[in-house]
Amino acid sequence: MLAKAKSSVLHGINAKEVTVEADVASQGLPSFSIVGLPDAAVRESIKRVRNALVNSGFKFPNNKITVNLAPAGIKKEGPSFDLPIAMAILAATGQFDKNSLNHTLVCGELSLDGCLRPLNGILPRVLSMRGKGINRCLIPSENAPEASLVKDMAVFPINNLTEAVDILKGEKTINRTEMNIEKVYDAAAKHDADFNEVKGHIYIKRGLQIAAAGGHNVLLIGPPGSGKTMLAKRMRTILPDMSFEESIETTKIHSIAGNTSKNKFLISQRPFRAPHHSISYSGLIGGGRFLLPGEITLAHNGVLFLDELPEFHRNILEMLRQPMEEGMINITRSAGTVQYPARFMLIAAMNPCPCGFLTHPKKECHCTIPMVQRYLSRISGPLLDRIDIHLEVPALDYDDLSKPKNCESSKDIKIKVARARGRQKRRYRNKRYNINALLSPEEIYRHCGLTKEAEDLFRLAVTEMNFSARAYDKILKLSRTIADIDGKEEADADSIAEAIGYRSLDRRVWV
């Protein structure tokens, strides 16, 4: 007898439909085989399914059992096929009506006693089946809050194999899981850090405010202890709140990486990823045996913070160039090719020299000029060109540190950022982007107009400072963002002068 169950397999941040077909033949020697390009974890499900069925009190057929995972051309990975294989075998042997599996998505890893373990990537699995005739899903109970984010899909949390069969028989009723999304967003609005905790650095905060308003990348340069990391960690507190669509896309990524749980089923705060400089290629870019997302994808819709930038391997840093420009990364390995989104805001920090005290007003630097040049050369020119804002973070003196806190809070800065983002959203309402940092060369010419005085100043600066073509575009984008923050229709001389001031590495004022 033949029975079928619907399941899915992950592919990038999405999933593909898989039909699990179980045939229990009365002829032939007793055996249990799985075909359809299964990996080792899927082949091992033979033992897990057999023991789970027996230990749950079901009859395991002493027949020739063949399980086919269709389509056969897609590689099947992971233990998520345990439950659909078990349900298909039970249906094929008449232990419940096989028609009850119609319009049902089944996913889950079985333990030997028949209990279900949670899975990674449950949100993309459920999303991929919406609109394909599937209107309910049987999944592990710990994954139910995450799956409930999908509208028009009835989610039934299952603790063990017996519960799944009872639901399909109609002998047991389990309430559908529904979550209060508003409470999640209310909790996301609260942060442990605030910009008013950072004393001094008014110029730096202004630069970070501009970066947040336009989605620009930032490089912080300063001696040890000047506050670079402290400033970077507070960056996401001034970024606009995530929309529900952004949260769903970000949650899909973190679900695949195994970063979600029953209590953290929706990513409602913008991600902040800060990998160590010893990170590998696959750790930063993504890849590995199962082609998992890397740090640049986990930072999608949020902030990627690279502290001690010159300490990262240069070849790894060069791999950032494509995703910084295109907002996505293609990973091609022998296991296949996947595409991951990688639209992040880069915040990098570095010392001005190997010892770190080149720009310190009191401490003496012991580095020679060749040492400083070698240190800076670890970061290539093309990568620096892709970083819009260069901010020199000075060391604070006693007077700055001893002053009472009277700085702008993150909430106040966030209001200004949101106002500037609103202007950009209205300006680019018919475009695929809504921030200045993503403007194409044609759009720069159309939207980044300068007053006569600003144009004269910019011409002089480009002539004297020998900016690259990419730096030229970056300055125009920055001036547009500065004008948006200040409520100006066009970038004037003050806006263009401030934008030029944020390109300190191009000007080499401290080298």
Confidence of residue 406 (pLDDT cuts 50, 70, 90): low
Is 324 found in the same domain as 450? no
| Phi-psi label, residue 433: left if phi above 0, alpha if psi -120 to 50, beta otherwise | beta
- Residue 175 belongs to some domain of the structure: no
- Residue 497 belongs to some domain of the structure: yes
CATH number of the structural domain spanning residue 508: 1.10.8
- Name the domain count of the chain: 3
**% of the chain surpassing 90 pLDDT:** 60
CATH number of the structural domain spanning residue 109: 3.30.230.10
CATH number of the structural domain spanning residue 328: 3.40.50.300
CA quadruple 213, 219, 225, 231: dihedral, nearest 10: 10
Is 508 found in the same domain as 392? no
Task: Look at residues 400, 432, 464 and tell me which one is the last residue of a structural domain.
Answer: 432
How many residues in the chain?
511
- Residue 406 belongs to some domain of the structure: yes
Is 493 found in the same domain as 415? no
Identify the CA nearest to 239 among candidates 320, 305, 293. 305
Q: What is the pLDDT of residues 484-498, one digit of tens each?
A: 999 998 999 999 999
Do 372 and 180 meet the contact criterion of CB atoms below 8 Å apart? no
Identify the CA nearest to 211 among candidates 389, 380, 461, 19. 389
Confidence of residue 113 (pLDDT cuts 50, 70, 90): very high
Is 121 found in the same domain as 106? yes
- Residue 378 belongs to some domain of the structure: yes
Task: Look at residues 432, 453, 471 and tell me which one is the last residue of a structural domain.
Answer: 432
Do 381 and 422 meet the contact criterion of CB atoms below 8 Å apart? no
Structure confidence at residue 452 (pLDDT): 92
Is 242 found in the same domain as 209? yes
The two structure tokens encoding residue 156? 């039934």
Structure confidence at residue 320 (pLDDT): 93
In terms of residue numbers, what domain contains 510? 439-511
Task: Look at residues 405, 432, 459 and tell me which one is the last residue of a structural domain.
Answer: 432
Q: What is the pLDDT of residues 470-485, one digit of tens each?
A: 888 999 999 999 999 9
Do 388 and 212 meet the contact criterion of CB atoms below 8 Å apart? no
Is 411 found in the same domain as 451? no
Is 398 found in the same domain as 322? yes
Residue 319 burial by Cβ neighbours in a 10 Å radius (0-12, 13-18, 19+): middle
Is 122 found in the same domain as 101? yes
Is 140 found in the same domain as 14? yes
In whole angstroms, give the CA distance from residue 95 to residue 199. Answer: 70
Do 200 and 394 meet the contact criterion of CB atoms below 8 Å apart? no
Confidence of residue 183 (pLDDT cuts 50, 70, 90): low
pTM assigned to the model? 0.90
Crossing angle between the packed helical segments 82-92 and 45-55, to the nearest 10 degrees = 60
Q: What is the pLDDT of residues 46-60, one digit of tens each?
A: 999 999 999 999 999
